[in-house]
Amino acid sequence: MEGRLVKNTAVRRFHLQAADDCLAWAQRAYTDSQQCQLDFWSWATGLERHQLLRRDFLQGQSLLAESGAWPWLRLQRRAGKLVIKLFAGFKAGKPQVVRVIPRSLLKVELASGPEIIRWFPPLNLPQKPWDWFILFFDELLAKLDGASAEIVDVCPVCSRWFIRARADKKEWCSVACRSRAVYRQRKQKQERRKLTKQAKVERNPRSENGPQPGT
C-alpha cells in the first residue's frame, strides 16, 4: 500500500490533500460560524485563511461578504452526515448516490486576456448554500478517480474518515492523532511492565526485599 501511495505525483497528492481537507472540515465539531466559513472557502479555493481576510484581496472579501449570512453550522453538520454515509457505503461495497447541480459548458470572459472554458453551473441559475458545497465536493471526489482504494480509511484515534495524501500518514489522520496513539501505546507498555513486575514480586516476595537473614 505504501509503495502505491509514494508513487503519487505532486498533482495527485495536491488533489488528495484537498479532498482530505474537505473531509476534515465536514467532520469537525465547529461552534464558531465564522471559523467554519473561513475553513470552507480555504479548502474550496485553495487559499490560506489569512489570504481570504486580506482587505486588498477583493475576491476573498466578496466571497466572505456574500456568504456571511449562510447557516454555516447547519450546512457543515449536513455535510458531515453526507461524508460519513458516502464513505461508509464505499468501504462496505454499498455505493451511495449524490445528486449534483446541473452544469453547462461556458465561455467566461476574464478582466484581461482571452475567454476561457468553464464546466460550471449556469451563471443565471440561483444557487443555495448547499449547492456550493456539493459543487466543490463533486469536483474534489472526481479528482480521486483512479487512486488506490486503500487511501480511504477511518482514524483509529478520533474515528473520522480521512484520505492518505502521503504514505507517511499511515493509519492516522493527523500528526496530533499519531502523537496521541504513540503516547497511548507508551502508557500501555509502561502499565504492562508494572503489572509484570508486580506479578514477579507476588510470586517471589523475597526477591523484592533482597537476601533474608540466615540465608
Which pLDDT score is estimated for 77? 97
The 3-state DSSP class for residue 212 equals coil
Which pLDDT score is estimated for 70? 94
Tell me which of 3-17, 47-61, 101-115, 159-173 is least confident.
Answer: 3-17
Reported confidence tier of residue 210, pLDDT bands at 50, 70, 90: low
67/69 Cα distance (integer angstroms)? 6
- Residue 90 sits at the vertex; the CA angle it makes with 28 and 103, to the nearest 5 degrees, is 80
Stretch (H or E) spanning 185: helix 175-203
pLDDT reading at 61 higher than 90: no
Whole-prediction pTM value? 0.73
Residue with cell 514477579: 200
75 contacts 27 by C-beta, under 8 angstroms: no
Which pLDDT score is estimated for 2? 42
List the domain boundaries for the chain.
2-98+130-173, 185-209
4 contacts 152 by C-beta, under 8 angstroms: no
Reported as a single tens digit per residue, the pLDDT across 22-42 is 999 999 999 999 999 999 998
